[in-house]
Amino acid sequence: MLKKRHPTKYLGEEYQRLVKENLNWELKELQTASEPVCVVEGKEVIMLCANNYLNLATHPNVVQATLEATKKYGAGAGSDRSIAGNMTVHEELDLRLARFKRAPASLTYQTGFMANEGLVPQLCGRGDLFVSDELNHGSIIDGVRLSHADRAIYKHKEAEDLARVMDEAEKHQPAYKHIWILTDGVFSMDGDLAPLSEIAKIAEEHGAGVYVDDAHGEGVLGEGGRGIVSHFNLDRKQVHVEMGTFSKAFGVIGGHITGGEDLRNFAYNKSRSWLLSGGVPPGVAAACIAAIEVLEREPEHVKNVWNNRNYFLKAMRDLGFDTGNSETPIVPVMCGESKTAKSLANFIWKKGIFSLPIVFPMVARDKARIRVQLCSKHTEEHLDKAIQAFSEGGKKLGLI
Protein backbone atom coordinates (compact mmCIF):
# COMPACT_ATOMS: atom_id res chain seq x y z
CA MET A 1 0.00 0.00 0.00
CA LEU A 2 1.33 3.41 -0.95
CA LYS A 3 2.11 5.85 1.83
CA LYS A 4 -0.52 8.54 1.89
CA ARG A 5 0.87 11.87 0.71
CA HIS A 6 0.30 14.93 2.89
CA PRO A 7 -0.76 17.66 0.41
CA THR A 8 0.49 20.73 2.29
CA LYS A 9 3.38 19.60 4.48
CA TYR A 10 5.95 20.92 2.03
CA LEU A 11 4.59 24.46 2.45
CA GLY A 12 5.75 24.68 6.06
CA GLU A 13 9.04 22.98 5.22
CA GLU A 14 9.75 25.48 2.46
CA TYR A 15 8.94 28.40 4.74
CA GLN A 16 11.30 27.08 7.43
CA ARG A 17 14.04 26.78 4.81
CA LEU A 18 13.54 30.44 3.88
CA VAL A 19 13.78 31.45 7.55
CA LYS A 20 16.95 29.39 8.06
CA GLU A 21 18.61 31.00 5.03
CA ASN A 22 17.48 34.55 5.97
CA LEU A 23 15.39 34.77 2.79
CA ASN A 24 11.94 35.19 4.35
CA TRP A 25 9.88 38.38 4.44
CA GLU A 26 8.85 39.56 7.91
CA LEU A 27 5.62 41.53 7.69
CA LYS A 28 5.29 44.60 9.88
CA GLU A 29 1.93 46.21 10.59
CA LEU A 30 1.50 49.88 9.64
CA GLN A 31 -0.95 51.32 12.18
CA THR A 32 -1.24 54.90 10.94
CA ALA A 33 -1.33 56.61 7.55
CA SER A 34 1.72 56.35 5.30
CA GLU A 35 3.61 59.47 6.36
CA PRO A 36 7.30 60.37 6.89
CA VAL A 37 6.76 59.56 10.58
CA CYS A 38 4.25 56.84 11.38
CA VAL A 39 3.49 54.04 13.83
CA VAL A 40 4.58 50.52 12.89
CA GLU A 41 4.10 47.61 15.30
CA GLY A 42 3.28 50.12 18.06
CA LYS A 43 6.57 52.00 17.51
CA GLU A 44 6.94 55.53 16.12
CA VAL A 45 9.45 55.38 13.27
CA ILE A 46 10.74 57.41 10.35
CA MET A 47 9.41 55.75 7.18
CA LEU A 48 12.16 55.13 4.64
CA CYS A 49 10.70 52.30 2.55
CA ALA A 50 7.36 53.52 1.20
CA ASN A 51 6.60 54.09 -2.48
CA ASN A 52 4.64 57.21 -1.48
CA TYR A 53 7.33 59.51 -2.93
CA LEU A 54 5.25 62.70 -3.04
CA ASN A 55 3.14 61.97 0.06
CA LEU A 56 -0.04 62.29 -1.99
CA ALA A 57 -1.67 59.35 -0.18
CA THR A 58 -2.71 61.76 2.57
CA HIS A 59 -3.05 64.96 0.54
CA PRO A 60 -6.38 66.54 1.55
CA ASN A 61 -7.52 66.98 -2.06
CA VAL A 62 -6.91 63.31 -2.82
CA VAL A 63 -8.66 62.14 0.34
CA GLN A 64 -11.63 64.47 -0.29
CA ALA A 65 -12.02 63.23 -3.85
CA THR A 66 -12.22 59.66 -2.56
CA LEU A 67 -14.99 60.54 -0.12
CA GLU A 68 -17.07 62.54 -2.60
CA ALA A 69 -16.91 59.94 -5.37
CA THR A 70 -17.73 57.12 -2.94
CA LYS A 71 -20.83 58.99 -1.76
CA LYS A 72 -21.87 59.68 -5.35
CA TYR A 73 -21.10 56.35 -7.03
CA GLY A 74 -20.92 53.85 -4.16
CA ALA A 75 -18.13 51.71 -2.72
CA GLY A 76 -17.62 49.55 -5.79
CA ALA A 77 -18.08 49.57 -9.56
CA GLY A 78 -20.48 46.64 -9.41
CA SER A 79 -18.90 44.78 -12.33
CA ASP A 80 -15.95 44.48 -14.66
CA ARG A 81 -15.50 47.56 -16.81
CA SER A 82 -15.93 45.28 -19.82
CA ILE A 83 -19.48 44.42 -18.74
CA ALA A 84 -21.42 46.89 -16.60
CA GLY A 85 -18.81 48.61 -14.44
CA ASN A 86 -17.38 51.17 -16.86
CA MET A 87 -18.32 54.26 -14.88
CA THR A 88 -18.09 57.91 -15.84
CA VAL A 89 -15.27 58.42 -13.36
CA HIS A 90 -13.23 55.62 -15.02
CA GLU A 91 -13.56 57.21 -18.45
CA GLU A 92 -12.69 60.58 -16.96
CA LEU A 93 -9.54 59.13 -15.40
CA ASP A 94 -8.41 57.60 -18.71
CA LEU A 95 -8.86 60.93 -20.48
CA ARG A 96 -7.27 62.92 -17.66
CA LEU A 97 -4.20 60.69 -17.59
CA ALA A 98 -3.73 60.89 -21.37
CA ARG A 99 -3.89 64.69 -21.17
CA PHE A 100 -1.32 64.70 -18.37
CA LYS A 101 0.94 62.42 -20.40
CA ARG A 102 0.36 64.52 -23.54
CA ALA A 103 -0.58 61.39 -25.44
CA PRO A 104 -3.54 60.33 -27.58
CA ALA A 105 -4.89 57.72 -25.16
CA SER A 106 -4.51 55.92 -21.83
CA LEU A 107 -6.17 52.93 -20.22
CA THR A 108 -6.22 52.27 -16.49
CA TYR A 109 -5.92 48.80 -14.97
CA GLN A 110 -6.68 47.54 -11.48
CA THR A 111 -2.96 47.31 -10.59
CA GLY A 112 0.36 47.86 -12.28
CA PHE A 113 1.16 44.16 -12.05
CA MET A 114 -2.09 43.40 -13.87
CA ALA A 115 -1.21 45.84 -16.63
CA ASN A 116 2.05 44.03 -17.38
CA GLU A 117 0.67 40.54 -16.87
CA GLY A 118 -2.41 41.32 -18.95
CA LEU A 119 -0.97 43.26 -21.89
CA VAL A 120 2.56 41.89 -22.40
CA PRO A 121 1.54 38.32 -23.37
CA GLN A 122 -0.94 39.69 -25.89
CA LEU A 123 1.67 41.72 -27.77
CA CYS A 124 3.59 38.68 -29.01
CA GLY A 125 2.73 35.09 -29.90
CA ARG A 126 4.28 32.23 -31.85
CA GLY A 127 6.63 33.57 -34.47
CA ASP A 128 7.36 36.72 -32.44
CA LEU A 129 10.14 37.77 -30.04
CA PHE A 130 10.41 39.55 -26.70
CA VAL A 131 13.78 41.13 -25.87
CA SER A 132 14.05 41.93 -22.17
CA ASP A 133 16.55 43.60 -19.81
CA GLU A 134 17.92 40.97 -17.44
CA LEU A 135 16.79 42.93 -14.35
CA ASN A 136 13.22 43.69 -15.42
CA HIS A 137 10.43 43.58 -12.85
CA GLY A 138 8.80 40.24 -12.04
CA SER A 139 5.50 41.34 -13.58
CA ILE A 140 7.21 41.78 -16.96
CA ILE A 141 8.91 38.41 -16.56
CA ASP A 142 5.58 36.74 -15.74
CA GLY A 143 3.93 38.48 -18.69
CA VAL A 144 6.58 37.13 -21.05
CA ARG A 145 6.22 33.63 -19.61
CA LEU A 146 2.49 33.68 -20.37
CA SER A 147 3.24 34.26 -24.05
CA HIS A 148 4.12 31.67 -26.70
CA ALA A 149 6.71 34.03 -28.17
CA ASP A 150 10.44 33.43 -28.23
CA ARG A 151 12.43 35.44 -25.71
CA ALA A 152 15.94 36.88 -25.47
CA ILE A 153 17.72 38.66 -22.62
CA TYR A 154 20.24 41.49 -22.88
CA LYS A 155 22.69 42.58 -20.20
CA HIS A 156 21.36 45.16 -17.77
CA LYS A 157 21.25 48.62 -19.37
CA GLU A 158 23.85 47.65 -21.99
CA ALA A 159 22.71 49.14 -25.29
CA GLU A 160 25.60 47.47 -27.09
CA ASP A 161 24.42 44.06 -25.96
CA LEU A 162 20.84 44.93 -26.91
CA ALA A 163 22.07 45.82 -30.41
CA ARG A 164 23.85 42.45 -30.58
CA VAL A 165 20.66 40.60 -29.60
CA MET A 166 18.64 42.55 -32.16
CA ASP A 167 21.18 41.85 -34.93
CA GLU A 168 20.97 38.13 -34.14
CA ALA A 169 17.18 38.32 -34.16
CA GLU A 170 17.25 39.70 -37.69
CA LYS A 171 18.96 36.50 -38.86
CA HIS A 172 16.27 34.24 -37.40
CA GLN A 173 14.47 31.97 -39.85
CA PRO A 174 11.63 32.17 -40.36
CA ALA A 175 11.77 35.91 -39.79
CA TYR A 176 10.04 37.20 -36.68
CA LYS A 177 6.73 38.92 -37.40
CA HIS A 178 6.88 41.20 -34.37
CA ILE A 179 9.68 42.14 -31.93
CA TRP A 180 9.14 44.06 -28.68
CA ILE A 181 11.89 45.43 -26.44
CA LEU A 182 10.81 45.46 -22.79
CA THR A 183 12.47 47.48 -20.04
CA ASP A 184 11.87 48.99 -16.66
CA GLY A 185 12.26 52.76 -16.70
CA VAL A 186 13.55 52.99 -13.14
CA PHE A 187 14.89 49.67 -11.87
CA SER A 188 13.23 49.36 -8.49
CA MET A 189 15.99 47.58 -6.58
CA ASP A 190 18.87 49.79 -7.73
CA GLY A 191 17.23 53.12 -8.52
CA ASP A 192 19.03 53.39 -11.86
CA LEU A 193 17.54 54.44 -15.22
CA ALA A 194 17.16 52.55 -18.46
CA PRO A 195 19.07 54.15 -21.38
CA LEU A 196 15.75 54.78 -23.07
CA SER A 197 17.03 57.05 -25.87
CA GLU A 198 19.51 54.38 -26.99
CA ILE A 199 16.88 51.66 -26.70
CA ALA A 200 14.45 53.67 -28.82
CA LYS A 201 17.12 54.24 -31.48
CA ILE A 202 17.97 50.54 -31.70
CA ALA A 203 14.29 49.64 -31.83
CA GLU A 204 13.68 52.07 -34.70
CA GLU A 205 16.56 50.57 -36.68
CA HIS A 206 14.95 47.15 -36.41
CA GLY A 207 11.27 48.07 -36.62
CA ALA A 208 10.68 46.87 -33.04
CA GLY A 209 8.21 48.10 -30.45
CA VAL A 210 9.35 49.67 -27.17
CA TYR A 211 7.52 48.94 -23.92
CA VAL A 212 8.70 50.77 -20.79
CA ASP A 213 7.49 50.10 -17.25
CA ASP A 214 7.75 53.50 -15.57
CA ALA A 215 6.20 52.55 -12.22
CA HIS A 216 8.93 54.24 -10.16
CA GLY A 217 9.55 57.13 -12.55
CA GLU A 218 6.10 58.68 -12.70
CA GLY A 219 5.66 61.70 -10.52
CA VAL A 220 9.43 61.82 -10.07
CA LEU A 221 11.04 62.07 -13.52
CA GLY A 222 10.33 64.34 -16.45
CA GLU A 223 8.59 67.68 -16.80
CA GLY A 224 6.23 68.08 -13.87
CA GLY A 225 6.61 64.39 -12.99
CA ARG A 226 5.37 63.14 -16.36
CA GLY A 227 7.79 60.24 -16.34
CA ILE A 228 10.72 58.75 -18.19
CA VAL A 229 9.47 59.38 -21.73
CA SER A 230 9.32 63.07 -20.88
CA HIS A 231 12.66 62.85 -19.06
CA PHE A 232 14.40 61.73 -22.25
CA ASN A 233 12.34 64.05 -24.51
CA LEU A 234 11.03 61.11 -26.52
CA ASP A 235 7.69 60.86 -28.34
CA ARG A 236 5.02 58.22 -28.96
CA LYS A 237 6.63 57.16 -32.23
CA GLN A 238 9.73 56.16 -30.29
CA VAL A 239 8.17 54.63 -27.16
CA HIS A 240 5.02 52.75 -28.05
CA VAL A 241 3.79 51.62 -24.63
CA GLU A 242 4.41 53.60 -21.46
CA MET A 243 3.14 51.60 -18.51
CA GLY A 244 2.84 52.92 -14.97
CA THR A 245 1.05 52.80 -11.65
CA PHE A 246 -0.96 55.03 -9.36
CA SER A 247 0.33 53.19 -6.28
CA LYS A 248 3.66 54.96 -5.96
CA ALA A 249 4.20 58.71 -6.52
CA PHE A 250 0.46 59.24 -7.11
CA GLY A 251 -0.23 57.74 -3.69
CA VAL A 252 -3.31 55.65 -4.55
CA ILE A 253 -3.61 52.25 -6.35
CA GLY A 254 -3.99 51.08 -9.93
CA GLY A 255 -2.03 50.56 -13.12
CA HIS A 256 -2.20 52.10 -16.57
CA ILE A 257 -0.79 52.23 -20.07
CA THR A 258 -0.36 55.23 -22.35
CA GLY A 259 0.18 55.45 -26.10
CA GLY A 260 -1.94 55.63 -29.22
CA GLU A 261 -5.66 55.01 -29.70
CA ASP A 262 -4.89 51.68 -31.34
CA LEU A 263 -2.99 50.60 -28.23
CA ARG A 264 -5.91 51.46 -25.94
CA ASN A 265 -8.44 49.66 -28.14
CA PHE A 266 -6.20 46.60 -28.45
CA ALA A 267 -5.44 46.51 -24.73
CA TYR A 268 -8.98 46.56 -23.38
CA ASN A 269 -10.10 43.97 -25.89
CA LYS A 270 -7.17 41.59 -25.32
CA SER A 271 -5.95 41.95 -21.71
CA ARG A 272 -7.66 39.25 -19.68
CA SER A 273 -6.54 40.84 -16.41
CA TRP A 274 -8.56 43.94 -17.44
CA LEU A 275 -11.50 42.10 -19.00
CA LEU A 276 -12.05 39.63 -16.17
CA SER A 277 -11.50 41.78 -13.07
CA GLY A 278 -13.84 44.20 -11.36
CA GLY A 279 -13.42 47.89 -12.10
CA VAL A 280 -11.49 49.85 -9.49
CA PRO A 281 -13.75 51.46 -6.87
CA PRO A 282 -15.00 54.87 -8.04
CA GLY A 283 -13.42 56.53 -5.01
CA VAL A 284 -10.04 55.18 -6.10
CA ALA A 285 -10.48 56.45 -9.65
CA ALA A 286 -11.45 59.90 -8.35
CA ALA A 287 -8.45 59.93 -6.02
CA CYS A 288 -6.16 59.20 -8.98
CA ILE A 289 -7.64 62.13 -10.90
CA ALA A 290 -7.12 64.38 -7.88
CA ALA A 291 -3.51 63.22 -7.55
CA ILE A 292 -2.80 64.14 -11.17
CA GLU A 293 -4.31 67.58 -10.58
CA VAL A 294 -2.26 68.12 -7.40
CA LEU A 295 0.89 67.22 -9.31
CA GLU A 296 0.06 69.81 -11.96
CA ARG A 297 -0.74 72.59 -9.47
CA GLU A 298 1.91 71.91 -6.82
CA PRO A 299 5.29 71.21 -8.45
CA GLU A 300 7.06 71.69 -5.12
CA HIS A 301 6.40 68.05 -4.20
CA VAL A 302 8.66 66.84 -7.01
CA LYS A 303 11.32 69.43 -6.15
CA ASN A 304 11.29 68.43 -2.47
CA VAL A 305 11.73 64.71 -3.07
CA TRP A 306 14.82 65.38 -5.21
CA ASN A 307 16.29 67.75 -2.62
CA ASN A 308 15.86 65.06 0.04
CA ARG A 309 17.30 62.37 -2.18
CA ASN A 310 20.40 64.44 -2.98
CA TYR A 311 20.95 65.33 0.69
CA PHE A 312 20.67 61.72 1.87
CA LEU A 313 22.71 60.24 -0.96
CA LYS A 314 25.62 62.63 -0.49
CA ALA A 315 25.74 62.01 3.26
CA MET A 316 25.70 58.22 2.84
CA ARG A 317 28.43 58.30 0.20
CA ASP A 318 30.52 60.63 2.36
CA LEU A 319 30.28 58.07 5.17
CA GLY A 320 31.66 55.43 2.80
CA PHE A 321 28.52 53.40 2.07
CA ASP A 322 28.16 51.68 -1.28
CA THR A 323 24.93 53.12 -2.73
CA GLY A 324 25.15 51.34 -6.06
CA ASN A 325 24.16 53.23 -9.19
CA SER A 326 21.25 55.22 -7.79
CA GLU A 327 19.90 57.92 -10.12
CA THR A 328 16.52 58.44 -8.39
CA PRO A 329 14.95 58.71 -4.91
CA ILE A 330 15.59 54.97 -4.56
CA VAL A 331 18.93 54.63 -2.76
CA PRO A 332 20.26 51.10 -2.17
CA VAL A 333 22.58 50.64 0.80
CA MET A 334 24.58 47.64 -0.33
CA CYS A 335 25.27 44.97 2.30
CA GLY A 336 26.35 41.85 0.42
CA GLU A 337 25.01 38.91 2.39
CA SER A 338 21.34 38.57 3.31
CA LYS A 339 22.24 38.12 6.98
CA THR A 340 24.13 41.44 6.99
CA ALA A 341 21.24 43.29 5.36
CA LYS A 342 18.80 41.90 7.92
CA SER A 343 21.14 42.78 10.77
CA LEU A 344 21.46 46.37 9.56
CA ALA A 345 17.70 46.68 9.12
CA ASN A 346 17.15 45.40 12.65
CA PHE A 347 19.75 47.81 14.03
CA ILE A 348 18.23 50.92 12.45
CA TRP A 349 14.74 49.71 13.43
CA LYS A 350 15.79 49.85 17.06
CA LYS A 351 16.92 53.42 16.40
CA GLY A 352 13.48 54.35 15.05
CA ILE A 353 14.16 53.97 11.31
CA PHE A 354 11.96 51.70 9.18
CA SER A 355 13.59 50.44 5.99
CA LEU A 356 13.52 46.86 4.76
CA PRO A 357 16.27 44.47 3.70
CA ILE A 358 16.03 43.24 0.12
CA VAL A 359 17.41 39.72 -0.28
CA PHE A 360 17.47 36.83 -2.75
CA PRO A 361 15.52 36.11 -4.93
CA MET A 362 14.58 39.80 -5.28
CA VAL A 363 18.29 40.45 -5.88
CA ALA A 364 21.32 38.22 -6.44
CA ARG A 365 22.54 36.26 -3.40
CA ASP A 366 25.59 38.47 -2.86
CA LYS A 367 23.74 41.74 -3.61
CA ALA A 368 21.49 42.08 -0.55
CA ARG A 369 20.79 45.65 0.46
CA ILE A 370 18.62 48.05 2.41
CA ARG A 371 16.43 49.87 -0.09
CA VAL A 372 15.87 53.43 1.06
CA GLN A 373 13.10 55.44 -0.59
CA LEU A 374 12.93 59.16 0.06
CA CYS A 375 9.74 61.22 0.07
CA SER A 376 8.89 64.89 -0.34
CA LYS A 377 7.94 65.54 3.30
CA HIS A 378 11.07 64.20 4.95
CA THR A 379 12.82 66.96 6.86
CA GLU A 380 16.57 67.34 7.36
CA GLU A 381 15.99 66.33 10.98
CA HIS A 382 14.39 63.07 9.81
CA LEU A 383 17.22 62.40 7.39
CA ASP A 384 19.98 63.29 9.87
CA LYS A 385 18.52 60.83 12.37
CA ALA A 386 18.43 58.12 9.70
CA ILE A 387 21.98 58.89 8.53
CA GLN A 388 23.24 58.66 12.12
CA ALA A 389 21.55 55.27 12.60
CA PHE A 390 23.03 53.94 9.38
CA SER A 391 26.44 55.26 10.39
CA GLU A 392 26.39 53.46 13.74
CA GLY A 393 25.03 50.25 12.23
CA GLY A 394 27.41 50.34 9.28
CA LYS A 395 30.43 50.66 11.53
CA LYS A 396 29.23 47.88 13.80
CA LEU A 397 28.76 45.52 10.84
CA GLY A 398 31.96 46.52 9.06
CA LEU A 399 30.23 48.10 6.07
CA ILE A 400 32.06 51.41 6.51
Q: What whole-number distance in Å separates Cα of residue 35 and Cα of residue 56?
A: 10
pLDDT value, residue 361: 82
According to the CATH classification, is domain 60-297 in 3.30.465.10? no
User: If pLDDT is split at 50, 70 and 90, which confidence band does 24 have?
Assistant: confident
User: Helix (H, G, I), strand (E, B), or coil: what is residue 93?
Assistant: helix
- The answer on pLDDT for 359 being more than 90 is no
pLDDT value, residue 2: 67
Tens digit of pLDDT for each residue in 27-70?
899 999 999 999 999 999 999 999 999 999 999 999 999 999 99
Q: What whole-number distance in Å separates Cα of residue 288 and Cα of residue 241?
A: 20
Tens digit of pLDDT for each residue in 81-111?
999 999 999 999 999 999 999 999 999 999 9
User: For the ranges 177-186, 297-306, 313-322, 359-368, which has the lowest average pLDDT?
Assistant: 359-368
Average pLDDT over residues 163-188: 96
Burial of 286 (0-12, 13-18, 19+ CB in 10 A): buried
pLDDT value, residue 4: 78
Residues above pLDDT 70, as percent of the chain: 100
Who contacts 171 (Cβ-Cβ below 8 Å, separation ≥6)? none
Largest CA distance in the chain: 73
Q: Which fold has domain 21-50+299-396?
A: Aspartate Aminotransferase, domain 1 (3.90.1150)
Q: What whole-number distance in Å separates Cα of residue 222 and Cα of residue 186?
A: 12
Q: For this structure, is 314 an active site residue? A: no
Phi, psi of 398 (to 5 degrees): 75, 25
- Structure letter (DSSP) for residue 243: E
Note whether 335 and 341 are within 8 A (CB). yes
Tens digit of pLDDT for each residue in 192-221?
999 999 999 999 999 999 999 999 999 999
Please provide the average confidence, as pLDDT, over all residues in the chain: 95
Closest CA to 142 of 276, 273, 270: 273
pLDDT value, residue 392: 97
Q: What whole-number distance in Å separates Cα of residue 370 and Cα of residue 388?
A: 15
- 117: part of which helix (H) or strand (E)? helix 112-123
pLDDT value, residue 1: 59
Average pLDDT over residues 10-28: 89
Q: For this structure, is 188 an active site residue? A: yes
Question: In Å, how far from its chain's centre is CA 144?
Answer: 17
- Structure letter (DSSP) for residue 25: -
Closest CA to 386 of 357, 342, 353, 344: 353
Tens digit of pLDDT for each residue in 116-133?
999 999 999 999 999 999
Domain with CATH 3.40.640.10 in the chain: 60-297
Q: What whole-number distance in Å separates Cα of residue 160 and Cα of residue 310?
A: 30
Catalytic pick among 147, 188, 230, 338: 188
pLDDT value, residue 7: 86
Catalytic pick among 137, 216, 367, 378: 216
Q: For this structure, is 71 an active site residue? A: no
DSSP codes of every residue in 302-344: HHHHHHHHHHHHHHHHHHT---TT--SSEEEEEEESHHHHHHH
Catalytic pick among 248, 301, 342, 382: 248
Domain with CATH 3.90.1150.10 in the chain: 21-50+299-396
Tens digit of pLDDT for each residue in 274-319?
999 999 999 999 999 999 999 999 999 999 999 999 999 999 999 9
